[in-house]
Amino acid sequence: MTTPTAHLINGQIVSCPQARLQDVYNPATGAVSGKVELASQATVEAAIAAAEAAFPAWRDTIPVKRARILARFQRLLEERADEICAAITAEHGKVTDDARGELQRGIENVEFATYIPELLKGEHSKNVGPRIDSWSEFQPLGVVAGITPFNFPAMVPLWMFPAALACGNTFVLKPSERDPRAALLIGQIALEAGVPPGVLNVVNGDKEAVDTLLTDKRVQAVSFVGSTPIAEYIYATASANGKRVQALGGAKNHAVIMPDADLDNAVSALMGAAYGSCGERCMAISVAVAVGNEVADALVAKLSTTLASLKVGPGTEASAEMGPLISKPHFEKVRGYVDAGVAEGATLVVDGRTLKVAGHEQGYFLGGTLFDHVTPEMSIYKDEIFGPVLCVVRAHSLQEAMDLIDAHEYGNGTCIFTRDGEAARYFTDLIKVGMVGVNVPLPVPVAYHSFGGWKRSLFGDLSAYGPDAVRFYTRRKTISQRWPTGGVRETAQFAFPA
């Protein structure tokens, strides 16, 4: 067994002899594949101290130089993609294509961060009063922290620290302890690219590490992505400690299928959106709302046919389209929801519980599952299952579909399938959801826009990555300047000798 995954502090891999250790599993086999060190408060404080010490010099490194270090980082990530993706698949379980996809999305956030000389431009006003000029600068905060989830072990860290670093901050990242290797590797690659020691630190850990980050006075801001209960805890705790916070939580994303939709396109899109990464995505579509029975019947028929050929297997197998769930407890929780759905009266069209992956009987595999006739009071409708379970709900009209979506506690993503311009405009205008697709099932904004849900999917006012991240990771400073008269211009008047 390999060395436990430890921490990256001040440019060094740091391991503590007395550290608590936790098992890391291979979800495709159910076997323990390694250990991760859980940082003590002292270890996290050491990382914070390293970040604080590195701040002044990094802050004064001119933005275009910071951008060039990030550009090198981008190139190294591309060159070492195989290695990173292997770490993702080994610990998270997702298939290689999914790992590639998440890494590519993450790299695009690094690419955006290289635009920082443009993005940091402040506003300059001449003559706000007579001979008074005023301008706003956007200065870095100091030490900032990121706490990231298991489901995108590479992408979500890359949403955060490249933008934070580009703005001149130093960073302490605490990735998920369930699949910690990818983030640590990425941190090491950043240092290779020229990020100075202490500017980026990675600590692995659990609640002790999190609470240290939330309460230490030196930490200026916290970015979090995870489930809603934890997001609320993070938001309340870090706020009570005076910090700025953005905390992204859970989701229950609905797709609306209108009678005029291109159904083949919609089905193909839903397959990826519902079952991709085993449904463990905060932007996964977990509810399909069919408007009218005709489209509902056709949709369910096509989905069940297509599901029949979905290839489930270890992420390392080239043919696999969907891998295992992250852990045994999560597997059991998801399977429990399928049981509950049946008990609550939903029609189980495709039952993923029967799946067996030969040779991987201890792996956390659940087949793609499809429910029809789901209704809003069922737990499979109300809760975020975070597994390969798609619920079809039937509605009489677009308005009814929208009322359903707006009544749900989450408001992360949604989409509509239609050809009709008016339906799309009405939906996108009024729906209380932050990211909206029109015939785009996973409307994740590109890296140069920002990511954020509404309602209980996001706590805070600024979204993740993109332009909002630049605002989040900087503090506005406004200068008002007037120069006194009587200086060298007016006093230096020379009469030349004849």
Q: Which residues are catalytic?
A: 282
Q: Which stretch binds a second copy (CB under 8 A): 5-13, 156-164, 202-210, 419-427?
A: 419-427
Instruction: Report the distance separating Cα 370 and Cα 459, nearest Å.
Output: 31
Instruction: Report the distance separating Cα 415 and Cα 254, nearest Å.
Output: 7
Between 39 and 398, whose beta carbon lies closer to a second copy? Answer: 398
Between 30 and 292, whose beta carbon lies closer to a second copy? Answer: 292
Choose, by CB under 8 A, the member of 129, 318, 407, 498 that binds a second copy: 129
Q: Is 407 in the site for a second copy (CB under 8 A)?
A: no
Q: Is 244 in the site for a second copy (CB under 8 A)?
A: yes
Kindly give, in sequence order, each residue whose CB lies less than 8 Å from that of residue 231, ignoring residues fewer than 6 positions away. Answer: 224, 247, 248, 249, 250, 458, 459
Instruction: Report the distance separating Cα 162 and Cα 114, nearest Å.
Output: 9
Q: What part of residues 296-355 is at the interface with a second copy (CB under 8 A)? A: none
Between 19 and 431, whose beta carbon lies closer to a second copy? Answer: 431
Q: Is 125 in the site for a second copy (CB under 8 A)?
A: yes
Instruction: Report the distance separating Cα 375 and Cα 300, nearest Å.
Output: 15
Listed residue (441, 332, 453, 442) closest to 386, CA to CA: 332
Listed residue (315, 319, 323, 378) closest to 346, CA to CA: 378
Query: Strand 285-291 relative to strand 347-350: parallel, antiparallel, unpaired?
Result: unpaired
Closest approach of a second copy to the CB of residue 290, in Å: 10
Closest approach of a second copy to the CB of residue 302, in Å: 15
Between 17 and 129, whose beta carbon lies closer to a second copy? Answer: 129
Q: Provide the CA 171 distance to its chain's centre, in angstroms.
A: 17
DSSP annotation of 121 reads P
Listed residue (372, 378, 364) closest to 334, CA to CA: 364
Joined tokens for residue 339: 């049981």
Q: Is 434 in the site for a second copy (CB under 8 A)?
A: yes
Closest approach of a second copy to the CB of residue 175, in Å: 23
Closest approach of a second copy to the CB of residue 283, in Å: 11
Closest approach of a second copy to the CB of residue 62, in Å: 4
Helices (H), 19-80: 41-60, 63-79
Between 32 and 430, whose beta carbon lies closer to a second copy? Answer: 430
Joined tokens for residue 158: 């890359």
Q: Is 71 in the site for a second copy (CB under 8 A)?
A: yes
Closest approach of a second copy to the CB of residue 158, in Å: 16
Q: What part of residues 86-105 is at the interface with a second copy (CB under 8 A)? A: none
Between 245 and 385, whose beta carbon lies closer to a second copy? Answer: 245
Instruction: Report the distance separating Cα 95 and Cα 109, nearest Å.
Output: 22
Kindly give, in sequence order, each residue whose CB lies less than 8 Å from that of residue 472, ignoring residues fewer than 6 positions away. Answer: 221, 223, 244, 246, 462
Between 192 and 461, whose beta carbon lies closer to a second copy? Answer: 461
Residue with tokens 């294509």: 97
Q: Which stretch binds a second copy (CB under 8 A): 20-28, 321-329, 381-389, 424-432?
A: 424-432
Q: What part of residues 23-62 is at the interface with a second copy (CB under 8 A)? A: 60, 62
- Burial class for 31, CB neighbours closer than 10 Å (0-12, 13-18, 19+): exposed
Choose, by CB under 8 A, the member of 309, 354, 493, 498 that binds a second copy: 493
Q: Is 439 in the site for a second copy (CB under 8 A)?
A: yes
C-alpha distance across the termini of the chain, in Å: 93
Q: What part of residues 184-243 is at the interface with a second copy (CB under 8 A)? A: 221, 232, 235-236, 239-240, 242
Closest approach of a second copy to the CB of residue 44, in Å: 22
